[in-house]
Amino acid sequence: MTIIVTGGAGFIGSNFVFHMLNKYPDYRIVCLDCLTYAGNLSTLAPVMDNPNFRFVKESITDREAVYKLFEEEKPDMVVNFAAESHVDRSIENPEVFLDTNIKGTAVLMDACRKYGIKRYHQVSTDEVYGDLPLDRPDLFFTEETPIHTSSPYSSSKAAADLLVQAYHRTYGLPVTISRCSNNYGPYHFPEKLIPLMIANALNDKPLPVYGKGENVRDWLYVEDHCKAIDLIIHNGRVGEVYNIGGHNEMTNIDIVKIICKELGKPESLITYVADRKGHDMRYAIDPTKIHNELGWLPETKFADGIKKTIKWYLENKEWWETIISGEYQNYYEKMYANR
């Protein structure tokens, strides 16, 4: 079995590469990643010498490079994690989101059509469903919830999902789609809420909470997401969408307070800043389908997962300190200068 994992130098993709190489010692895992600001080759250092692993630095939007890779590797499956993934960046500059998230997905699927494939899996997000109101805790996203996006990021992911479904119906491509809630864990890029707050708190820097901090996200430990995708690509039904989430809804402000407590830092570091434009209020996944069909359940409780995550950031300072210097610093200063 040869699997092309795109975006494998990013947060979830790298965790998936580790999971697959560990669990399936006879699989060949080929990581296709063009190493944007969010991709980090040092993340993959532990598997670089593994004979079952190959890293290829190319963009999923480069048709020629993608076709060449398919000719060389003749993959059985493709799992597409590669994307521009940060909502705030999409609000600043949507264009690259359209290019990578939409066009890149089409190029990958064209390669799958041309060379044949057993499964194309699209890693999508709960953000394609839009948001839920805070005063209706009885409402959850199911696979039947209409697509109703808020940001350029989520719109580009929704467009990609629609293309995936179109390629299934029109060309009979054997696809699956998963829509997961917010992940957290090791190798999470420190522009996202949890790693940003950990890094800032450790540096005694202000903790910028958007708006009133009342927005709710449904947090899932990254390993649980990887296990769900593993189940879907092996046992999921072709043409289906599977929601992934662990019924772990929390407000942003509660998350930040937990991080302060775990690190022994004062809550006075919390700084309320201007809200994100078009900020989604609440995400909440109904994971009944993946539980009933594939027996998936999240294994990591938030109380344990956040401790493990904080421990990882304490033990891997070099990884994130390198990242928050350089180009990222310019982005950070620009993002927060006017808030």
Footprint on this chain of ligand TDX (rule: CB under 6 A): 85-87, 125, 127, 182, 192-193, 196, 208-210, 215, 217, 252, 276
Indicate the helix (H) or strand (E) that contains 247: none
Question: Residue of minimal CB distance from ligand NAD?
Answer: 10
- The catalytic position among 33, 84, 120, 126 is 126
- Answer yes or no whether residue 35 interacts with ligand NAD by CB under 6 A: yes
- Answer yes or no whether residue 85 interacts with ligand NAD by CB under 6 A: yes
| Alpha carbon distances (Å) from 278 to 9, 281, 313, 336 | 29, 9, 30, 17
Q: Which is nearer to ligand NAD, 121 or 168 (CB)?
A: 121
Query: Which of the residues 278 through 317 are near ligand NAD (CB under 6 A)?
Result: none
Options 5, 11, 102, 230; binder of ligand NAD; rule CB under 6 A: 11
DSSP assigned state of 282 = B
By DSSP bridging, strand 183-184 and strand 220-221 are: parallel
By DSSP bridging, strand 183-184 and strand 175-180 are: unpaired
Q: Which is nearer to ligand NAD, 12 or 269 (CB)?
A: 12
Taking the CA atoms of residue 18, residue 244, residue 58 and residue 53 in that order, the dihedral angle to the nearest 10 degrees is: 20
Burial of 304 (0-12, 13-18, 19+ CB in 10 A): exposed
Rounded CA separation 258/68 (Å): 48
Contact assessment for residue 261 and residue 213, using Cβ atoms and an 8 Å cutoff: no
User: Least Å distance between CB 97 and ligand NAD?
Assistant: 10
User: Least Å distance between CB 299 and ligand NAD?
Assistant: 17
The one-letter amino acid at 217: R
Q: What string marks each residue from 134 to 163 as x (binds ligand NAD by CB under 6 A) or -?
A: -----------------------x------
User: From ligand TDX, ligand NAD, none, which one binds at residue 209 (CB under 5 to 8 Å depending on kind)?
Assistant: ligand TDX
- The catalytic position among 33, 84, 127, 218 is 127
User: Least Å distance between CB 9 and ligand NAD?
Assistant: 4
- Answer yes or no whether residue 121 interacts with ligand NAD by CB under 6 A: no
Tell which phi-psi region holds residue 129, choosing left (phi > 0), alpha (psi between -120 and 50) or beta.
alpha
* Whether 280 is catalytic: no
Rounded CA separation 12/183 (Å): 8
Directed axis angle between helix 11-23 and helix 222-235, to 10°? 60
By DSSP bridging, strand 216-218 and strand 249-251 are: antiparallel
Residues in the chain: 339
Indicate the helix (H) or strand (E) that contains 272: strand 270-273
* Whether 249 is catalytic: no
User: Least Å distance between CB 234 and ligand NAD?
Assistant: 19
Options 3, 4, 5, 12; binder of ligand NAD; rule CB under 6 A: 12
User: From ligand NAD, ligand TDX, none, which one binds at residue 87 (CB under 5 to 8 Å depending on kind)?
Assistant: ligand TDX
* Whether 126 is catalytic: yes
- Dig out the tokens for 127 from the structure: 């953000």
User: Least Å distance between CB 69 and ligand NAD?
Assistant: 11
Non-local (6+) Cβ contacts of 146 within 8 A are 129
User: Least Å distance between CB 266 and ligand NAD?
Assistant: 28
- For ligand NAD, how many residues bind (rule: CB under 6 A)? 30
Residues forming the active site: 126-127, 153
Residues lying near ligand NAD in the complex (CB under 6 A) are found at 6-7, 9-13, 33-36, 38-39, 59-61, 81-85, 100, 104, 123, 125, 157, 180, 182-183, 189
